[in-house]
Each structure stands twice: as C-alpha cells, then as structure tokens.
Amino acid sequence: MATLAQRSPEVEAEEVNYLNVEHGWKSWLLTTDHKRIAVLYIISITLMFFVGGLMAVLFRINLLVPEGLFSAETYNRLFSMHGIIMVFFFLVPSIPATLANFLIPIMVGAKDLAFPRINLLSWYLYIAGALLAIYAVVRGGVDTGWTFYAPFSTTYSNSYVLAAAFGVFTAGFSSILTGLNFIVTVHKMRAPGMTWSRLPLFVWSNYATGLIQVLGTPVLAITLLLLAFERIAHVGIFDPNIGGDPILFQHLFWFYSHPAVYIMILPGMGVISEIVSCFSRKRIFGYNFVAFSSMAIAVLSFVVWGHHMFITGESMYTGLAFSILSFMVAVPSAIKVFNWTATMYKGSVSFDTPMLYAFGFIGLFTIGGLTGLHLATLGTDIATHGTYFVVAHFHYVMVGGMVMAFMGGMHFWWPKITGRMYPEAWSKFAALIVFIGFNLTFFPQFILGYLGMPRRYHAYPPEFQALNVLSSAGASILGIGYVIPMVYFIWSLKNGPRAGKNPWGAAGLEWQIQSPPTTFNFDETPVVTEEAYNYGPLEEIVG
C-alpha cells in the first residue's frame, strides 16, 4: 500500500510556535489562543471519552450472561451515564471544539476566532459541566437514560438527576458559544480573496454545525430547566395527574436532541471531505453539492424530531409527517457519500492512516444511515423502536461514523498540531483493530434488535446470549483499538519524527504555515486566489 507521508529534512526544531512561546499553567489556563484552547479540549474530551468508555466496558461485562451480573438499578445507571457522557461531553464538542477550533481560523486565513475570550469561556463551561457530570457519576449516577424522560426523571427516579441535568445544561452553553464563535468567524474574518466558494468543506460543515448549535441547544437548556423545576417543586408541567403532558417533554427534548445528532456527524463529514480529497490527490467532486448538503442537513435536521416518538404517544398523522421528512433528511447525507466516492474515482488513492479511517467512515456511516431509514419507516419502527436495532443504528453512525472521522482527523492534522508524526505501522494496526472490534461489537446488535431484544435491559432471554457475548468480545477489541493511539500519540510528542509544514502534500492554508503554527498563524495575511483542493499532478512535497 502506497503511503504519502514524507519526512521533513532535519531540525526546524527550535522555531517558536504556539506550544513553546510561553510556559506555565497561567499561559495555558488563561490563554486566548484558539490552538491552545483546542489542545485543552483535546485533553478534556479524551478523559471524558474514557470515563464513558469505562461505563460501556462494565455494562458489556454485565451482558455476558442472560441474567445479568449487576442489578437492574446499577445497569440503568451505567448505560445512562455512558450515554450522557458520550453524547454531551464527547461527541457534541468533539470535532468542533478540538479540530475546528484549531483549524477554522487558519483555514479562513485569520489570526484567531472572532471572540477568543468567549472561546476560553466555552472551555471553562465545558469543564464545569463535566465536573458536575463526574460528581453525578461518583455519587452513583443517573438512571433515566440520557433522554431524561418525564415523569420518571421528574418524579420517580432516586438518582442524581439534577446534577447530571445541570452538567448537561452547562455544557450546552459551552456548545452554544462555540457555534456562535464559528458562525461570526466564518462570516466576518475571512482573508481577502477567501470567498464562500473557496472555503474548505471542513469550514462549511462546521459552519452548518454552528447554526444547529445556536438554534437547537437553547431549547435543551429550557427543557432541562423545566425538568429541574418539576423535580424540585413538583409544579406539574409534565405531570399527568394534573393535566400535564409527558409527551411535551419529549417534543421539547427531541427538538434539540435530533439536530444534536447532526451536530455530532456534520463536522465528521467535513473531516472526511478533507481527507478524501488529499489522499485521492483530487479536488472534491461536486464541491457545491457537498457545501449545500451541509446546509440542507442543518435545516432539515430541525423538522424530523418526531421520529423518536412514533410509538410513545404522538398522533399518527404527525408521525406520518415526521416520517416523510426523515426520509428527506437522508438525501443530503447520501449526496455526500456519492461525492466522496466520485472523488476517489480516477484519483490517485493512497492508504495512509487517515484515509483508512475515511474508508471506514464511508462504509459504516452508509450502513448506519440506511438503517436509519428502516427506523424512519413507521411500520418497521413499531417492531424496532426501543430494541438493539436502534442501538446498533446510532452506534454505526456515531462510532463507525463520527469517532472514525475524529480519529482520522486527529491523525491527519496531528503533524500540524504537534509538529510530530506518529508511527505509521502502529496507526494502521490500530485502525484495523478499531474496524474489526467495532463491527464485532455492533453488527450482532442489529440482529439482536431485529430478533426483538429490547435495549436498556440488564437481563435477556438465554437464546440471545451468543450474540451478546460476540458483542462484548468485540467491545474489548474496540477498546484496545482506542487505547493504542493514546499510547503512540503521547509517545510521538517527544519521540516522533518532526513533521514539516506539509507532510501529506495537501492543499489548504493550514499546510502552508509551519508545524506547529505560531500563535498568530500567519506572518502576514494571506491573499487567496485559488479554489480549495487545487490538487495538480503529484508534485514535489515541500517539507
């Protein structure tokens, strides 16, 4: 397999960059440099990822035997905290707060984001929310599921609902501020000549994500507040005993949480666009289609939330409307998959690690997306709602999709962020382990769901044990696949070969500045005269 990475000639070693320009904890904790804030986020969300992953390890161990190893109570708390942490403290911030934070100013040709101090504030809000969530974990967790449905969460649950809810509430504001920053940056801070149609697609994706964050997250905030009032004072807004409607909670909750899943996937799609074009040595096929599909996804994502409520009590006519709209929202995603594939056609494809993750993304996201249609169909959803089919579906898109994109992006831009290269053989090996482990974990779950095994149950009928054991085995392999990059990434910080400006020979403003970049990114404001992805024939790599 051909690889593209070139090692730079020696020592650009001691040039000043954003990492070594200042030392000391104050220079990190009070920084307004978007790149340092991105690094702070990388560390924080990685820690939360492993906390959430630990929950998963525990409950997959529970599921090795049909009667379950832990009590139902404990099991409920494990999967709830897993969901809350993974959704709100890993997936939602992941690419936007890390890679996009680092890259968007550089990709548009600016020195920093529009509001650098608000960027720092958003990290502190994330930390505050994460601490509240950890507090909830330490005190025993929440058992309502990450969806916090009333009236269980408001009236009957004995767990730390408020701590978890306020943790999510706080992290939500972090998300809003990040989105706001990106939107204003992309509108107002583009370098001369950087028109909208010359922006990298990674910027388009994160811009669209920012729109969703800004429009949707406030509704989550008010929903959690209403939940808190109900739980604290029993005011009755979701209490059927006095005429309140628990379904209203679901409407308000899903109005945010469905668009949230697009917050969680759009940035990943942006990463894939960058990787596929670089490692096919070709401009993205159908740039306009991909850009507009990001916007279409952002808009359509807001009118499909009812597909989570087909059988929980909403009117079937509303269900009909939401079902049709859910089919429509699949179209822009499919358009992107076609365009990535077309980009590779007649391109010069190389198989470096980022590209391996991109291949994984395209295949697994397609499977996940198609099974989403199965769930969007009213009739089949009756059978599969609340089963492992749903669990498999969203893990295919979120883990097979987004986490793979995150890994791919981290590998692609690691030399830019740290100035070092990771060991290629190990990274390819880890990618393979992740792919195998992922499919072993989650493909059996499609079958389990189809056969009727409900989700969120600590015990199950004995005939499902074989598939559950396969899934748990896969989970352990997947876990190893995630630990290996942690090890070699950290190793590479001191021992990896130094990367030059452009180890991949990629197009884009970020590859024209030094690795790692200086604090203000550019020595002088770039003037953009070419479209994005202007890959010519395989040229000399400029180290």
Give residues 362-381 in contact with another protein (rule: CB under 8 A).
Answer: none
> Is 108 one of the binding residues for another protein (CB under 8 A)?
no
Q: What is the CA radius of gyration of the chain?
A: 23
CA distance 207 to 203: 6
The sign of the torsion formed by the CA atoms of 38, 284, 407, 405 equals: positive
> Is 183 one of the binding residues for another protein (CB under 8 A)?
yes
Q: Look at residues 435, 450, 442 and name the one whose alpha carbon lies nearest to residue 468.
A: 442
H helix intervals, 396-453? 404-418, 424-451
Number of residues that bind another protein (CB under 8 A): 49
CA distance 501 to 522: 13
> Is 243 one of the binding residues for another protein (CB under 8 A)?
yes
Q: Which of 219, 261, 362, 407 binds another protein (CB under 8 A)?
A: 219
Q: Which of 68, 145, 218, 497 binds another protein (CB under 8 A)?
A: 218
> Is 117 one of the binding residues for another protein (CB under 8 A)?
no
Per the CB < 8 A criterion, the answer to whether 90 and 48 are in contact is: yes
CA distance 207 to 190: 13
Half-sphere exposure of 476 (CA within 13 A, CB side): 10
Per the CB < 8 A criterion, the answer to whether 543 and 9 are in contact is: yes
Mark residues 133-172: x for contact with another protein by CB under 8 A, - for none: ----------------------------------------
Amino acid 144 reads T
One DSSP character per residue, 311-369 reads TTT--HHHHHHHHHHHHHHHHHHHHHHHHHHHHHTTS-----HHHHHHHHHHHHHHHHH
CA distance 497 to 7: 7
Q: Which of 7, 117, 139, 234 binds another protein (CB under 8 A)?
A: 234
Cβ atoms within 10 Å, residue 106: 23
Q: Per CB under 8 A, which region of 24-32, 210-218, 266-274, 367-375 contacts another protein? A: 210-218
Q: How far is the CB of 197 from another protein (least distance, A)?
A: 17
Q: Per CB under 8 A, which region of 13-21, 177-185, 505-513, 532-540 contacts another protein? A: 177-185
> Is 191 one of the binding residues for another protein (CB under 8 A)?
no
Q: Which of 166, 169, 207, 255 binds another protein (CB under 8 A)?
A: 255
Q: How far is the CB of 378 from another protein (least distance, A)?
A: 13
**Residue whose CB is less far from another protein, 133 or 176:** 176
> Is 235 one of the binding residues for another protein (CB under 8 A)?
yes
**Residue whose CB is less far from another protein, 305 or 340:** 305
Cβ atoms within 10 Å, residue 417: 23
> Is 292 one of the binding residues for another protein (CB under 8 A)?
no
Mark residues 296-335: x for contact with another protein by CB under 8 A, - for none: ------xx-xx-------xxxxx--xx-------------
Residue ranges that bind another protein, judged by CB under 8 A = 114-115, 176, 180, 183-185, 187-189, 214-219, 221-223, 225-226, 229, 232-237, 241-245, 247-248, 251-252, 255, 302-303, 305-306, 314-318, 321-322
